Amino acid sequence: MKLSFRWYGVDDPVKIEYIRQIPTMYSIVTAVYDVPVGEVWSVESISKLKKITEDNGLHFDVIESVPVHEDIKIGLPSRDRYIENYKENIRRLGAAGVKVICYNFMPVFDWTRTQLDYKLPDGSTALVYFKDQLEKMDPLTGELSLPGWDSSYTKEGLKELFDHYKNVDEDKLFENLEYFLKAIIPVAEEAGVKMAIHPDDPPYSIFGLPRIITREKNLDRFLSLVDSEYNGLSVCTGSLGSTNANDIYHIVDKYTKMNRIHFMHVRNIKLYADDSFEESAHYSGCGSLDMVKILQILHKNGFDGYLRPDHGRMIWGETGKPGYGLYDRALGASYMTGIWETLSKLDK
């Protein structure tokens, strides 16, 4: 297991020199953030990130993410131009030594929460997703600014996107994903870069938009689209685990045995009966997921890919990007490192 940490570049309030102080930290997970979705990243921008990372004693191995343009997801004629750009990004990142690219195929909205600063009993704040709150929201008429929402969209732009998606159901979205994968995976194989799709978060439809990376049967269908080790998964315990329909332990076990998990996002959640959830500390006793069991499965199956502590609470007065403070994610990283060390020593 290679421990990694999400870092949003030089403008991130979390300093990279602090990340390197987390015991056993191996790799930075980052991206180029100043290029419009669908365009080619400059070699200079990639090289700058690589140099900063390596100057701080960390590996430049994982990119999260290279966003997929909506025209590709919808299947518009313009998708071929954006796919060519995507292929070039894979080539450039592979040349820079990147081993894994995490991406997603979620229509319009990335990971979505309904509240940024939900106060937990211990006084910390966390991201939450409450279905009753979502039902009161309308992305086409309301003023929304939440994680996973691209604030660059105008209301007119969002309406146009929603109009396009009226003709895209789950099967059509799978068809468009297959078209994309058949174009990029041969390039990824040549570049030595493993593609790792992130599950939909949450793993069910929102606002009537289709979502397909949600359940075991859909993960199987996805992997069968292009049967290559370079076509793999980012398994997020908090995403796939945020519905009672999924057995997250079975999912981790099955796909590590298949060697198709290239990246693990590990976080805990408190799951409600209606699949609403609140994000919690990583410790098993704080949420609904058994972190020890998840890491036991990874360890037993010889997982040697990249793992990062996912969203954390905001604790100890820290401010900044909700879910991405330093302190709680550092606690989570240390907690998982301790579990992994224990498992390794028990094997001897």
* 88 close to 183: Cβ distance less than 8 angstroms: no
Q: Which amino acid is at 136?
A: K
- DSSP string of 7-44? ---TT-SS-HHHHTTSTT--EEEE---SS-TTSPPPHH
Catalytic residue among 59, 69, 262, 265: 265
Catalytic residue among 103, 230, 306, 324: 324
What distance in Å separates the CA atoms of residue 92 and residue 275, rounded to the nearest whole number?
40
Outline where DSSP puts E strands in the chain: 2-6, 27-30, 59-64, 100-103, 115-119, 125-129, 194-197, 231-236, 261-266, 269-271, 277-279, 306-309
* 97 close to 50: Cβ distance less than 8 angstroms: yes
Query: Is-catalytic flag, 311?
Result: yes
Strand order from edge to edge, sheet including 125-129:
115-119, 125-129, 277-279, 269-271
- Radius of gyration of the chain measured on its C-alpha atoms: 19
Catalytic residue among 59, 71, 311, 328: 311
Catalytic residue among 236, 253, 282, 328: 236
Catalytic residue among 59, 69, 198, 282: 198
Query: Is-catalytic flag, 236?
Result: yes
Catalytic residues: 198, 236, 265, 310-311, 324
